[in-house]
Amino acid sequence: MFQLKRYLVLANYKASKFKTTLNRAFTLFMLGFIGGVQAFAQSRGAGGFTSATTEINSYAEPVKKLMYAIAAVIALIGAFNVYFKMQNGDQDVKKTIMMTIGGCVAMVAMATALPMFFK
């Protein structure tokens, strides 16, 4: 009986030690796995930021041309507006001229300054 009890205590000790070793091995495996995934994610993120930067910089020139076109449309509409106000004899022709010129100058200035934000 004593031998059986001793054998069970020894088996329980070995099982406990095996569980501890297994837990340590699993913990080390998971730390290595998570660390590897994290390093992989960081390298992919850097590539993503690089491609996004390149993509945004490629949009700068077409957007600049679009803003010039919008300024031209503002100038045309403003010119017609001034012409009609002058024909009707309105008193605020000067104000309309200044607003039209101001809008055109603002659009051209923004279009010129746009590429400076991406450098």
- Indicate whether this model's pTM tops 0.85: no
pLDDT in tens, 65-90: 999 999 999 999 999 999 999 999 88
Nearest-angstrom CA–CA distance, 30 and 36? 10
Q: Which residue has the tokens 């930067």?
A: 53
Count of alpha carbons within 13 Å of 72, Cβ hemisphere only?
Answer: 6
Q: Looking at residue 82, what is its pLDDT?
A: 93
Whether the pLDDT of residue 23 is over 80: the answer is no
Stretch 10-24: mean pLDDT, rounded?
A: 61
